Amino acid sequence: MVASRIDGVGVRGVVGCVPEGRETVGDLARRFGEDAARKIAAATGIEERRIVAPGQCTSDLAEAAARRLLDGLGWEPGSLDLLVLVTQTHDQTLPGTASLLHRRLGLRKGAAVLDITHGCSGFVYGLWAAAGLLKAAGRRALLLVGDTTSQLIDPEDRAVAPLFGDGAAAVALELDDSADPMAFDLGSDGTGAPYLAADGGAMRHPDRPPRLFMDGTQVFAFTLREVPGSVRAVLECANWTTDMVDHLVLHQANAQMIRHLGQKLGVSADRTVVALREVGNTSSASIPLALTGSLAEPLASGCRRLLLSGFGVGWSWGSAALAVGPLAVCETVVLPGRKYPAESAAPATPAP
């Protein structure tokens, strides 16, 4: 698509949620050997990943994030006109997970809900969809993104098992005539579908669960081929230069890839966010978790120009340029390792 702008919509708050369960490099070493585990960690920048407990679903993480966000903003659930959920790991085949969260969060009858099945580019796609729909009709919206990718992974597959973690995030949007425009560039290329996929399950292979497959070489080549052009297109649409960007927040897939793209785009290392060491690749939630994990203080204290880009499964990519802050709420909460009342989610403790 041609890069476009949406004006009159402001971001009010962001809350991330990660599960309590962890899998560390030490755990990987017991399966793959110490040398292999350390080499993988050095190459990816991932030291541990957060993993949901048995019985926990994407909706549990999203609900905990949403409740903390609404409470922090003082928003009643009944004041929301729209809920957009982005996930590839739905709780069940139907109804959509957005409908389940409509009920669990207590949204008013008549509020619109929308499920979007997207992965690595999903946060940008969801932000674009939620802002555009809110601009068309409504006043307040809640964007929820998240995946429990660990449920798709063969623990013995060293190509994916050391990389993917579980997480979710909630973002509050509100109409605001004074808000700076958001610029977006989105695209896809379905020829890349076979290279990052989870085949299996009731539809095609009822005898086995879906398992994630990734061709890392193809993913890396696609990223270098498509992402720089998308980022440059959105910068031009926003009338920004790279010098105007306060923080470059890319999909948190791999530390080396993030740093390489930052250099290629001409954004200095101190403005390029790398925030996957303790959570891994959290798919659609990786960008907002990077915001709550690395930029909570600057986003709470003032306005920052953010350059965002998500890319991966599909192939699919999405970039956005927007000014965010000061935010009333920007934090991460932890989902305890069992089913629980969502309002008991505990604030995340700082890493040592």
Write out the catalytic residue numbers. Answer: 120, 251, 281
Tokens 């990734």 belong to residue = 214
Rounded to the nearest 10 degrees, the angle between the axes of helix 97-105 and helix 58-73 is 40
CA distance 61 to 17: 6
CA distance 274 to 267: 13
DSSP-assigned letters across all residues of 239-260: T--GGG-SEEEE--S-HHHHHH
Smallest CA-to-CA distance from 179 within 11, 12, 8 is with 8
Smallest CA-to-CA distance from 124 within 230, 16, 267 is with 230
Q: What is the token pair recorded at 146?
A: 């998240």
Residue 91 contacts residue 100 (beta carbons within 8 Å): yes
